[in-house]
Amino acid sequence: MPVGPFGIDPAIWAPLRLVIAVLLVVGLVFNGALAQIYLERKIQAVIQDRLGPLHTGPWGLLQTFADAIKLLGKEDIRARLTDKWFFLAAPSIVFSPMLASYVVIPFAPGIVGADLNVGLLYLTTLGSMTVLGVVIAGWASNNKYSLIGGLRSAGQLISYEVPQIISLVTVVLVVGTLSMVGIAESQPGWQLNFLVLPLAFVTYFIAGLAETNRAPFDLPEAESELVAGFLTEYSGMRWAIFFLAEYGEVTVVSSIVTTLWFGAWHGPFVEVFPLLGVLWFTLKTYFFVLVFMWIRATLPRLRIDQLMSLCWKVLIPLTLTNLVVTATLLLVFPNTVVPVAIANWILLAAFVLVLPYVQRRRLVALRERLRTAA
């Protein structure tokens, strides 16, 4: 008689595992969002040389609960809408793909929802379903500013999918498998993919910033532009669902970065205690979440045309070059990744050093033109 894990009968273990996984993910996502809301305010405060929430609970820890209670109690305003069902469905369409992304993320050796052998493709697919929700939200609000915000956001999301997917493909070329568990296992010890493909990491991080509508790409939801973009007509709990979706998506992007470039659950003593992998994974993921917040507090917002030109004129040629160079080097030197690593670091240095130089020359030329034209 086959014995399942912990000695439970396998017929009971299958649905029980499902229930545990759902509870874990729901708990993690909501608690993670609560933690991130608090962290965001505190970190922005520290960077901006102020104090942040202080009064509600010790060190302002209960601020998020106060926010949640306020949001729950808000009146559910529904103006005259273009389409009631679209308006109501849009937050769910934005939220569900984020929740479904947690299925393939490997938290520890053996602890993964489902080891799909197309795990990475599954994650990009879910990322592309968010666009639908945003377009529907912007259009159903019967509000010009929402519509423009929604279309701009959709354009931004669709554009930045391209460098995102090409960066992921570059990593897959080196690793050789689309399965997230396989990618996590291909980086034992100190052989992190970050040392081999840093440029892909940088471009994926930038594209991930744009994909999650996070600063400096948060034009669609910024409060000084277009009222609040496609979120204008959403108040109370519906707005909270959009924001949960955004923080959840930030966590998903950080998890993907951790898995692909920093060896998901690898860390000291993880061979001895497999469950320790969860701790290393969480630490690494939240490190990147903090980097997201750090960037939000530091960089100014990009205009929509600057955003688009960054994607199409800078990121896409860069990622395509990276892909072609990596693929060529992998074909020429089949068994080693050292040439790929060297080429990637050279390209990254070129990107970091050359781009500001080029931009400065263009700015000087523009100023010359304006001065001679005036």
Partner 1 sequence: MFDLIEPALFALLTIAIVAAGAGVVLANRITTSALLMAFTFLNIAGMFVLLGAETVAMFQVLIYVGAITVLILYGVMFTPQSPRPYGLFFQTQKYWAALFVVPIAIFVALVAFSFRDSATVGAKGGDLLPLATSVFRDFAFPFEVASVLLLAAMVGAIVLVKRDED
* Residues within window 250-309 making contact with partner 1, judged by CB under 8 A: none
Stretch that binds partner 1, among 18-26, 43-51, 129-137, 251-259 (CB under 8 A): 129-137
> Residue 36 CB, nearest distance to partner 1 (Å)?
26
* Residues within window 43-102 making contact with partner 1, judged by CB under 8 A: 83, 86, 89
Residue 154 in contact with partner 1, rule: CB under 8 A = yes
Nearer to partner 1, 28 or 151 (CB): 151
Among candidates 341, 313, 49, which has minimal Cα distance to 174? 341
- Report the residue from 43, 135, 252, 253 that binds partner 1 according to the rule CB under 8 A: 135
Query: Counting Cβ atoms within 10 Å, is residue 267 exposed (0-12), middle (13-18) or buried (19+)?
Result: middle
> Residue 197 CB, nearest distance to partner 1 (Å)?
21
Residue 186 in contact with partner 1, rule: CB under 8 A = no
User: What is the x/- site pattern for partner 1, positions 217-256, by CB under 8 A?
Assistant: ----------------------------------------
Residue 178 in contact with partner 1, rule: CB under 8 A = yes
Helix/strand/coil percentages in the chain, nearest 5: 75, 0, 25
User: How far is the CA of 290 from the CAs of 62, 127, 170, 285, 294, in angstroms?
Assistant: 20, 21, 25, 9, 6
User: How far is the CA of 91 from the CAs of 132, 214, 244, in angstroms?
Assistant: 11, 17, 10
Stretch that binds partner 1, among 111-119, 183-191, 272-280, 357-365 (CB under 8 A): 111-119
Query: Counting Cβ atoms within 10 Å, is residue 369 exposed (0-12), middle (13-18) or buried (19+)?
Result: exposed
Residue 147 in contact with partner 1, rule: CB under 8 A = yes
Residue 343 in contact with partner 1, rule: CB under 8 A = no
What is the Cα–Cα distance from 9 to 239, expressed in whole angstroms? Answer: 43
Cβ–Cβ under 8 Å, residues 84 and 145: no
What is the Cα–Cα distance from 367 to 31, expressed in whole angstroms? Answer: 50
Q: What is the three-class DSSP state of 108?
A: strand
Nearer to partner 1, 165 or 348 (CB): 165
Could you tell me where the beta strands, DSSP code E, fall in the chain? none
Torsion 112-118-124-129 (CA) sign: negative
How many residues at the interface with partner 1, by CB under 8 A?
A: 22
Residue 124 in contact with partner 1, rule: CB under 8 A = yes
> Residue 125 CB, nearest distance to partner 1 (Å)?
4
Nearer to partner 1, 178 or 260 (CB): 178
- Identity of the residue numbered 31: N
* Residues within window 157-176 making contact with partner 1, judged by CB under 8 A: 158
Nearer to partner 1, 28 or 116 (CB): 116
Stretch that binds partner 1, among 115-123, 203-211, 272-280, 354-362 (CB under 8 A): 115-123
Which phi and psi (to 5°) does residue 108 adopt?
-160, 165
Cβ–Cβ under 8 Å, residues 38 and 293: no
Among candidates 214, 248, 220, which has minimal Cα distance to 234? 220
Residue 115 in contact with partner 1, rule: CB under 8 A = no
Stretch that binds partner 1, among 16-24, 119-127, 264-272, 358-366 (CB under 8 A): 119-127
Helices (H), 233-315: 237-261, 276-298, 304-309
- Report the residue from 87, 107, 139, 261 that binds partner 1 according to the rule CB under 8 A: 139
Nearer to partner 1, 168 or 347 (CB): 168
Residue 320 in contact with partner 1, rule: CB under 8 A = no
> Residue 293 CB, nearest distance to partner 1 (Å)?
28
List residues bridging with 108 in a β-sheet.
Answer: 111
Among candidates 106, 124, 104, 35, which has minimal Cα distance to 281? 106
Nearer to partner 1, 64 or 101 (CB): 101
Residues at the interface with partner 1 (CB under 8 A): 83, 86, 89, 116-118, 121-122, 124-125, 128-129, 131-132, 135-136, 139, 147, 151, 154, 158, 178
